[in-house]
Structure 1
Amino acid sequence: MAFSKAKQTERNFQVALCTAPDSDTAESLAEKMVKQKLAACVNIIPAITSVYEWQGDIEKEPEVLMVIKTDEELMGQLEELLEQEHPYEVFELISCNIDQAATAYLQWLNGAL
């Protein structure tokens, strides 16, 4: 199995993170992302706790985390989908470049998006 630098591909793949209030919401959003080809895959990690400041108060809330594999060029469309569908007034959407990955996985990502 080979490990490749992702920059050797023509695309700039991303791992994006987005929280949701519960698994049902995350699954619904993930299905829409994949169906619309905005994500190749979304992993849903249940039972996280988020601690943050909101309107002057420290909040502590249970959430689920979506780990979204996508392309940099799709981030704007992904944000638009979340603006329409996400229940939060301010939702999290952050991303990092995939600098290296298994060659076969990069090929799969390229074909899935």
Structure 2
Amino acid sequence: MARALDEVCEVIITAPDPDWLVEFTRSLVADRLCAAAHNFAPIRSIYRWQGEIYDRPEGRVALHTRRDLVPQIIERTNREHPYEVPCVVTLPITSGDQKYLNWILAETAEPA
């Protein structure tokens, strides 16, 4: 399992429009940049931006992907996201079912 754990991660993305986030995520799965997306959830975000404090509803998703695909996910998010500085963070997956971790790797591999 160590090999798979070194190669997979979870990427969290938030956006002001949950419907936009669903469609954006669907395109990431279709393009094999992530194997799955979970926890589509409405959230409440409080943050400081350009000297003002905002309190807004947003959407949040957790992607399961390969660590080496994170730069492509970040680049695409920066290009397509409605925010100037979108929230994109990566968290390690420290444990998991080996079959699921292998599935993530298989679904994010280039098609043969």
Fold match (TM-score > 0.5): yes
Aligned with 2:81 (options 61, 81, 86): 86
By how many angstroms is 1:102 displaced?
Answer: 0.9
Deviation, structure 1 residue 45: 2.4
Aligned to 2:48: 53
Amino acid at match of 1:58: I
1:70 aligns with 2:65: yes
Deviation at 1:20? 1.0
Q: Which runs of 4+ in 1 moved over 3 A?
A: none
Q: In structure 1, what is the Cα distance between the partners aligned to 2:45 and 2:6?
A: 32
Question: How does the TM-score come out when normalised to structure 2?
Answer: 0.88
1:45/1:66 contact within 8 Å kept: yes
Matched, 1:105 2:95: no
Q: How far has the Cα of 1:9 moved from its partner? A: 2.7
Kindly provide the amino acid, as one letter, of the partner of residue 93 in structure 2: I
1:24-39 equivalent positions in 2, closer than 5 A = 24-39=19-34
TM-score (norm 1): 0.87
State the alpha-carbon separation in 2 of the partners of residues 100 and 46 from structure 1: 23
Task: Report sequence identity in percent.
Answer: 29
In the alignment of these two chains, the number of paired residues is 108
